[in-house]
Amino acid sequence: MKRRNFLTSLGILAAAGSATKIEAITKQINNKINGSNLVMSKFELAPLPYAHNALEPYVDAQTMEIHHGKHHAAYVANLNKAVEGNAELEGKSLEELFKNISKLPVAVRNNGGGHYNHTMFWNVMGPNKGGKPSGALAEAINAAFGSFEKFQETFNATATTRFGSGWAWLSVSGGKLVVSSTPNQDNPLMDLAEVKGFPILGLDVWEHAYYLKYQNRRPEYITNWWNVVDWDAVAKRFAEAK
């Protein structure tokens, strides 16, 4: 449906007056939209799975508002712009795009990575979380790193020493767990990642993730972040890892 037709229909709606009529016309419009080849923006920003202040005092509400509502929203908008009208890219999943990302426009890499990484980030955190993993994930961490504490040390060091903006990851790679980091919005699913794998936990160490509350104190942000890690969500990703 063309925008102009849509607006005309809205005009009819306003003129229609009665609620029943409005309902009928709305149904017609929806049917037209669903039945046409109108391509809606493929990628969408999901709402945060908890309130902005839910991760206080470890991650502050204002940071969450800006981080999700502005930064992540911008990645989604720019990703849609980057794939729009490109028949080879439109309709592909992020995972599909990442497999070949070194050959795609840098805007797809940066914004596609930004969308994937942040979507995962919000979902591996939660209020009243923290603690330690259990079950198969705990066993895999012990097998790879010796202990949970050793794993945390490695992860913290990796996150702290990532120069500039980027991410620290725990991934399943070749059937075992590895810690790595990537610059910018890259991730281990991308063909150009130094360490490839399926990320089950990621930590955003861009300054926009912590600067309002922690300023230059990235190590303090990292230490506090463990209090909001949702190990059940990480274990779920671990179970899904290919």
Q: Taking CB under 5 A as the rule, does residue 204 contact Mn ion?
A: yes
Minimum distance from residue 121 beta carbon to Mn ion (Å)? 7
- For residue 27, the surrounding DSSP H or E stretch is helix 19-35
Minimum distance from residue 101 beta carbon to Mn ion (Å)? 18
CA-based nearest residue to 110, from 120, 121, 98: 98
Draw the binding track, 207-236, toward Mn ion (x: CB under 5 A; -: no contact): --x---------------------------
**Is residue 62 within 8 Å of residue 136, measured between CB atoms?**
no
Minimum distance from residue 66 beta carbon to Mn ion (Å)? 10
**Is residue 194 within 8 Å of residue 102, measured between CB atoms?**
no
For residues 11 and 219, which CB has a smaller minimum distance to Mn ion in the complex?
219
How far apart, in whole angstroms, are the C-alpha atoms of residue 143 and residue 153? 15
Which residue is closest to Mn ion by CB? 204
User: Residue holding tokens 């120069």?
Assistant: 163
Q: Taking CB under 5 A as the rule, does residue 169 contact Mn ion?
A: no
Minimum distance from residue 159 beta carbon to Mn ion (Å)? 13
Q: Which stretch binds Mn ion (CB under 5 A): 78-86, 136-144, 179-187, 203-211?
A: 203-211
Q: Taking CB under 5 A as the rule, does residue 206 contact Mn ion?
A: yes
Size of the site for Mn ion (CB under 5 A): 3
Residue 155: C-alpha distances to residues 167, 177, 201 (Å) = 11, 12, 10
How far apart, in whole angstroms, are the C-alpha atoms of residue 6 and residue 119? 32
User: Residue holding tokens 């999901």?
Assistant: 46
Minimum distance from residue 126 beta carbon to Mn ion (Å)? 17
User: Residue holding tokens 């999700």?
Assistant: 68
Q: Taking CB under 5 A as the rule, does residue 186 contact Mn ion?
A: no
Q: Taking CB under 5 A as the rule, does residue 155 contact Mn ion?
A: no
**Interface ranges with Mn ion (CB under 5 A):** 204, 206, 209
